[in-house]
Structure 1
Amino acid sequence: MITKTSATSTGHTIVLEGVEKCFKGMERPAVASLTTSIESGAVMGLVGPDGAGKTTLIRMLAGLLKQDSGTLRVTNLDPIKQDRELHAVLGYMPQKFGLYEDLSVMENLNLYADLRSVIGEERRATFEKLLTFTDLTRFTDRLAGKLSGGMKQKLGLACTLIGQPKVLLLDEPGVGVDPISRRELWKMVHELADEGMLILWSTSYLDEAEQCRQVLLMNEGKLIFNGPPQELTQRMAGRSILLSATQGTNRKLLQKALTFPQITDGVIQGKAVRLILREGEEHQQLPALLDQPGAEVIEAEPRFEDAFIDLLGGNPASESALAKIMPIAEGHPDDVVIESQSLTKKFGSFAATDNVSFQVKRGEIFGLLGPNGAGKSTTFKMMCGLLVPTSGKALVLGMDLKTSSGKARQHLGYMAQKFSLYGNLTVEQNLKFFSGAYGLHGQKQRDKMNEMIEAFNFSPILKQEPNALPLGFKQRLALSCALMHEPDILFLDEPTSGVDPITRREFWLHINGMVEKGVTVMVTTHFMDEAEYCDRIGLVYRGKIIASGSPDDLKQQVATADNINPTMEQAFIDLVQRYDKGTEND
């Protein structure tokens, strides 16, 4: 891709000494007294929860913000005073990359080449390399807006690489991208790092952090760890365990476990619950502590995410205030409440969803997984009445959404991928608008608003607009707006895309609590650890469901003698690749 150079000969380093940045109205600095250095040769990870200061730091490095104090150098250049020289050697890909969706792939590349003054033979050779590198050669005439999420990120990376930058700043490039596309992005970025480029990759996906040579872990503007991710992970040896419920459900077991001070964190992992013990605690006591007689306790391999949560003080959420105020959903656990019957949606001759059938029972979490562009979003939108099927039926409580959509929607809550909030209304006004839209008025509306304000602690931010809020607060607001009318069926479209692990845990604490009260959930996600919360999964690819079953069922389908306990991500990738091989052989 680029000419191989050494970090020492080119000075590809970032040096920060006492860098601080404050914003008006904030109680603490967005970045506080940060001193560190970053060298080229491998990918450096920048991780931390919402509001940690990651994006502020990257914007200062890109010369878009000026630090209040301290010194900052990128390849020996001051980003503010020497901005023109810096922009000649810097590639910056923000969270919302500026692709022009009404331009084609090639037109976007030409635009960025014009901005970088890359012309003539150099432009032709650069485009050829970049299109091959990103595997976009076949799609040069396709509008950027018609690309899948993964392909958009590849195009964004290609545009960023025009002009052969020496430093690459990537702000959450993996958000909204499926596991296969993320793996391809990482392969490309590792190649660039091996060739001498300095790369800083900001992420809220902690499995990505494990791929970095070194990570900078920030929290509340401060650097709290700087080193190889494995160093932090190994601190958790002996404290990560798996426990399966012998009585009740895993959801109830997790909810109970999080209330004990001996346990600092917990998530559902297939048929088991993954628990993190406080330092010095013994796991032999857990079955008795959790009323699970005879339960087997298995020591699990620690993960970077375990160490991340532990370093931040553990999972702060123990009980769901939201679940407490939701009523118990009526109906029998065997009732089918969501059903797809030979569902098909065609756009011209292209079948985005092709003869898809499945059922979801009362109090179940059903996950639709699939690569970008596989058809899961189209299927999802038909199931909640946002798209009319070409053929087949989408049924909710036995009602056809095509003919009885109004009545069926009274039972539905919908949380969109982009959080369908009104940015020019305050938090309070959003709550009032959505409760009114769902038919709540007068005292009943005021009571429900007050319940949500208390459950989510919205009081300090009631007069703020959602656009000014951190992602975690936007997510809580979107969820509360979707639940104003107390629906017994909840549709979640990538509900935790881009949020940090702590916010994700809080979100699923609420969902698990509601499901225990009979609420039925249908969810799409690209986050494979999140898929573990599902009772059953339908893996969508090329418009069809190519595999279905519990998370453990799907993992066992790809298990081998060499890998007897595959991860959910490995199962996802292997099942898609197997399907491709099978169709090639047909």
Structure 2
Amino acid sequence: MPDSYTDQTVVALEFQAVSKSFVAGRRTVSALRNVSLALPKGTVAGLVGPDGAGKTTLMRLAAGLLLPDSGRVAVFGFDSGTQAEQLRGLTGYMPQRFGLYEDLSVAENLNLYADLHGIGREERQQRFQDLTRMTDLAPFSARLAGRLSGGMKQKLGLACTLLSRPQLLLLDEPSVGVDPVSRRELWSIIDQQVKTSGTTVLLSTAYLDEAERCMEVMLLDEGELLDHGSPDAFRRKVQGHCYRITHPGLSNRDLQNRLSGQPGITDAVIQGEAVRVVCDSEDAVNAALSRADNGKTRIETIAPRLEDAFIELLNKRRAPIRQADRITEPSAPAADEEIIRVDGVDRWFGDFQAVKKLSFTVRRGEVFGLLGANGAGKTTTFRMLCGLLPASSGQLRVAGVDLRKAAAKARARIGYMSQKFSLYSNLSVSQNLAFFSSVYGLSNARRDDRIQWALQQFELEASKDANSGDLSLGYKQRLAMACALMHEPEILFLDEPTSGVDPLARREFWNRTNRLAATGVTVLVTTHFMEEAEYCDRLVIMAEGDILTAGTPAEIKRQARTPSLPDPTMEDAFIQLIQAKRP
């Protein structure tokens, strides 16, 4: 993003020693503590941090929806406490769920927001034309917002926010739950607004590759502003500490688990056909692999990423992964036993075909990925495999059971973690665990044992009496996974389980998932994080109910290799395949 649109002499957003607290039950929660920042006009700034860091509170304070307990918030010099009307006229705020009315059409949502902003009839028609053209929503003006894909909802939410031509655009995790193609389209719109209107943009994001595109990045944790600066400034903090590790005798999953949590090693994640490590020095890697090495380890120094610095800074404030959480022995390769078979499956909703002649198999102990753009049919496929939705035609077999004949029998052998985590927000953590135990037929001593196991294994003991609706997103994720595992299923279905959670929570989640796979549990997962696809043994990419391609991550990336892109990422391959499918 070029710097030429900034104006250092005009401060678009300023926080001066801002603090904000909330009362939750008998506790007082400090959401922000003494935060000071200043964004020049025309800046595109990224706000990053773990779940519960205070990002949404900061956004709402900037939008004038909340007032600080102490300190001062100003937008273009207007104080949020004494000049709220002027401040709101300068800002546009898009909340995490896009702020849409799902039972209204695209056009009706736009008209409603135009009414709220007092935009006249003549002016709004030109704005509607400009915005629907920019967002490619013109052909869908009569469609209900609730029937749009996630990417289209995102673009409609942004169009509604841009109606008033805000000078400060506040986007609270705008790309949660949308695919990489939609994220790129979002950034194209943001770039256009900055270039043509000099708009100042502050967006919070769980995607650190998005934050790389910003001019300024601010890292929040537990209400404190830990650090801020350009992405380059963050990367320089870990220069010379990032490595690419390969070992011919170990799978990437085994190599990652041998390295994770070892002394001197801050981070270890699968990346392509290697493991990316942030550590003190090569000596830390050699010490971790001494028993399995025999001189076979290959270590290369690589350029740092913003995410490397993010993990390094946060891990200094947190305990490392416990040794008990690591897999110390190589996991057995996936058995040849076929545990899931999908053969020629169709699914119709009225005259709309959501899934078209779908066919694939999954072996016991595999981590199998279903990828695709929003609306590709992934969730419909999951629901059919879980016995929650019948196929219109074709055959589905799960754990040797024909779902047409014995769906209930199959359901007893699977766990399902949905996109929204399916928790009961007005029940406590313990009550949710007890409820799901009962649903799965557990009782008496076994139920009590499994509840204790979940509280201990997922580190929920301290939160056991808290309502699940009050938990941070990362802790909701932990609880949802624990609920799905109460009956020790053979197969675990994970439908976008890391959507919206921060990189630390995603690492913790995959650490648990890899341990399950190592014990022989079969895992099916959908995700919009393309780097997470690297954890899969095999995967399929879907579009409009069809399979575009299938294979290992390495095989799929090879399809996108070109002379100008000799080492494509999974995201490169995904976008290339999806765009080739579109007319």
CA distance in 2, matches of 1:382, 1:477: 24
For the 8 Å contact 2:424–2:432, the answer to whether it is kept is yes
Distance, in Å, in 2 between the alignment partners of 1:52 and 1:18 is: 17
Whether the aligned pair in 1 keeps the contact of 2:259 and 2:288 (CA below 8 Å) is: no
- For the residue of structure 2 that corresponds to 1:80, the secondary structure is coil
- Offset of residue 457 of structure 1: 2.1
Measure, in 2, the Cα distance between the counterparts of 1:360 and 1:280.
Answer: 38
Residue 339 of structure 1 aligns with which residue? Answer: 341
Q: How does 1:80-119 map to 2 (within 5 A)?
A: 80-119=81-120
For residues 494-537 of structure 1, give each alpha carbon's deviation from its aligned partner in whole angstroms, at most 9, with x where no partner exists.
00100000011001000000100000000001011111111111
Q: Give SS of 2:358's match.
A: strand
Task: Give the counterpart letter for 1:565 in structure 2.
Answer: D
CA distance in 2, matches of 1:354, 1:387: 15
Corresponding residue for residue 266 of structure 1: 268
CA distance in structure 2 between the partners assigned to 1:553 and 1:299 by the alignment = 25
Residue number in structure 1 paired with 2:321: 318
The verdict on how the C-alpha distance between 1:262 and 1:65 changes in structure 2, with shifts beyond 3 A counting, is same
Change (3 A) 1:286 1:322: closer
CA offset digits 1:480-502 (Å, max 9, x no partner): 00000000100000001000000
Deviations 1:2-59 (A, max 9, x none): xx997478x4611111111123366773211111101222311111111211111111
Q: Which residue of 2 aligns with 1:198?
A: 200
Q: Which position in structure 2 is the counterpart of 1:361?
A: 363
Asked whether the 8 Å contact 2:387–2:408 carries over to 1, the reply is no
Task: Find the residue that maps to 1:402 and give its secondary structure.
Answer: helix
List gaps (5 residues or longer) in structure 2: none
Pick aligned residue for 2:498 from 496, 504, 515: 496
1:300 CA displacement: 2.8
Is structure 2 residue 137 aligned with structure 1 residue 136? yes
Is contact 1:410–1:487 with CA below 8 Å preserved after alignment?
yes
Question: Using the alignment, how far apart are the partners of 1:180 and 1:156 within structure 2?
Answer: 17
Is the counterpart of residue 375 in structure 1 residue 377 in structure 2? yes
1:198-232 Cα shifts (integer Å, max 9, x gaps): 11011111010001011111111111221111221
Distance in 1 of aligned mates of 2:257 and 2:248: 15
TM superposition shift of 1:543: 1.2
Q: How far off its partner does 1:188 sit? A: 0.4
State the Cα deviation string for residues 90-116 of structure 1 (Å, max 9, x = none): 111111222111111001111111111
Instruction: Decide whether aligned partners of structure 1 residues 365 and 320 sit closer, same or farther in structure 2, where only a CA change above 3 A counts.
Output: farther
**1:44 lines up with 2:45 in the alignment:** yes
| Aligned partner of residue 465 in structure 2, secondary structure | coil
Question: Is residue 233 from structure 1 mapped to residue 235 from structure 2 by the alignment?
Answer: yes
Deviation (angstroms), 1:241: 1.7
Contact 1:320 1:510 in 2 (8 A): no
Look up the equivalent residue of 1:318 and give its one-letter code: I
**CA distance in 2: counterparts of 1:558 and 1:100, whole angstroms:** 39
Q: Counterparts of 1:232 and 1:323 in 2: how far apart (Å)?
A: 29
Query: Does the CA contact (< 8 Å) of 1:251 and 1:516 recur in 2?
Result: no
Q: Is the 8 A contact 1:322 1:452 kept in 2?
A: no
Say which is worse superposed, 567-576 or 498-507, in terms of deviation: 567-576
Q: What one-letter code is carried by the residue in structure 1 that aligns with 2:400?
A: G
Question: Per-residue deviation at 1:286?
Answer: 6.1
8 A Cα contact 2:98 2:174, kept in partner: no
- Matched letter for residue 514 of structure 2: N
- 8 Å CA contact 1:435, 1:445 repeated in 2: yes
Could you say which residue in structure 2 is the equivalent of 1:400?
402
For the 8 Å contact 1:538–1:549, the answer to whether it is kept is yes
Pick which of 101-110 and 66-75 moved more: 66-75
- Give the aligned partner of residue 409 of structure 1: 411
Q: Distance in 1 between matches of 2:145 and 2:255?
A: 46
8 Å Cα contact 2:272-2:569 kept in structure 1: no
Greater shift after overlay, 283-292 or 144-153?
283-292
Matched, 1:473 2:472: no
Moved more, 342-351 or 424-433: 342-351
Structure 2 residue 248 is the aligned partner of structure 1 residue 246: yes
Alignment of 1:482-521 (within 5 A): 482-521=484-523
- Aligned counterparts of 2:491 and 2:383: Cα–Cα separation in 1: 14
Question: Identity over the aligned pairs, expressed in percent?
Answer: 48
Residue equivalent to 1:18: 17
CA contact (8 A) 2:15 2:73 kept: yes
- 1:51-90 alignment runs, 5 A limit: 51-90=52-91
Partners of 1:323 and 1:419 in 2: CA distance: 25
Deviation of 1:402 after TM superposition, in Å, equals 2.1
8 Å contact from structure 1 (residues 215, 229) kept in 2: yes
TM-score, normalization: structure 2? Answer: 0.94
Q: Point out where structure 1 has 5 or more consecutive residues left out of the alignment.
A: none
Distance in 1 between residues matched to 2:16 and 2:427, nearest whole Å: 40
Across the two proteins, how many residue pairs are aligned to each other? 573
Q: Write out per-residue CA displacement over residues 395-415 of structure 1, whole angstroms, 9 at most, x where no aligned residue.
A: 102212122111111110000
Q: Please tell me whether the aligned partners of residues 260 and 321 of structure 2 are also in contact (alpha carbons under 8 angstroms).
A: yes
State the Cα distance separating 1:278 from its structure 2 match: 2.2
> How far has the Cα of 1:303 moved from its partner?
1.4
Once the 2 structures are TM-superposed, how far is the Cα of residue 190 of structure 1 from its aligned partner?
A: 1.4
Q: Any conservation in 2 of the 1:370–1:376 contact (CA below 8 Å)?
A: yes
- AA aligned to 1:178 is D
Residue 375 of structure 2 aligns to a residue in which SS? coil
Q: Residue 323 and residue 466 in structure 1: after superposition, are their counterparts in 2 closer, same or farther (change >3 A)?
A: farther
Greater mean alpha carbon deviation, residues 561-570 or residues 178-187: 561-570
Q: How far did 1:139 drift?
A: 0.4
Indicate conservation of the 8 Å contact 2:491/2:523, yes or no.
yes
Matched residue, 2:184: 183
CA distance in 2, matches of 1:5, 1:452: 51
Is 17-26 or 545-554 further displaced after alignment?
17-26
Mapped partners of 2:326, 2:263: distance in 1: 22
Give distance in 2, aligned partners of 1:487 and 1:294: 37
Residues of 2 paired with 1:150 and 1:499: CA distance? 18
Whether the 8 Å CA contact 1:321–1:455 is kept in 2: the answer is no
Q: Distance in 1 between matches of 2:334 and 2:97?
A: 44
Match of 2:451 in 1: 449
Q: Amino acid of the residue matched to residue 82 of structure 1? A: Q
SS in 2 for 1:168: strand
* Distance (whole Å) between structure 1 residues aligned to residue 122 and residue 5 of structure 2: 23
- The 8 Å contact of residues 73 and 79 in structure 1, kept in 2 or not, is answered as yes
Deviation, 1:548, is 1.0
Counterpart for residue 351 of structure 1: 353
Q: Distance in 2 between matches of 1:395 and 1:232?
A: 49
C-alpha displacement at 1:280, in angstroms? Answer: 8.0
Q: Tell which deviates more after alignment, 474-483 or 311-320.
A: 311-320
Q: What does 1:285-304 align with in structure 2 at a 5 Å threshold?
A: 287-288=289-290, 291=293, 293-304=295-306
- 1:563 deviation in Å? 1.7
Deviation digits for residues 425-444 of structure 1 (CA, Å, limit 9, x no counterpart): 11111010000110100011
Cα distance in 2 for partners of 1:425, 1:323 equals 32
Match of 2:30, SS? coil
Contact between 1:257 and 1:290, CA under 8 Å: does it hold in 2?
no
Q: Secondary structure at the match of 2:182?
A: helix
Equivalent position amino acid for 1:56 in 2: T
Q: CA deviation at 1:248?
A: 3.9
Flag the 1:484–1:238 CA change in 2: closer, same or farther, 3 A: same
Cα distance change of structure 1 residues 320 and 126 upon mapping to structure 2, 3 Å threshold:
farther
Aligned mates of 1:189, 1:332 — CA distance in 2: 44
Q: 2:464 aligns with which of 462, 466, 482?
A: 462
Deviation digits for residues 240-266 of structure 1, max 9, x if unmatched?
222233334322221221131121111
Q: Would the aligned equivalents of 1:12 and 1:166 in 2 still touch at CA under 8 Å?
A: no
Aligned Cα RMSD in Å? 2.3
Q: In the alignment, residue 288 of structure 1 is paired with which amino acid?
A: S
Q: How far apart are the structure 2 equivalents of 1:291 and 1:323?
A: 18
Distance in 1 (CA, whole Å) between partners of 2:458 and 2:57 is: 26
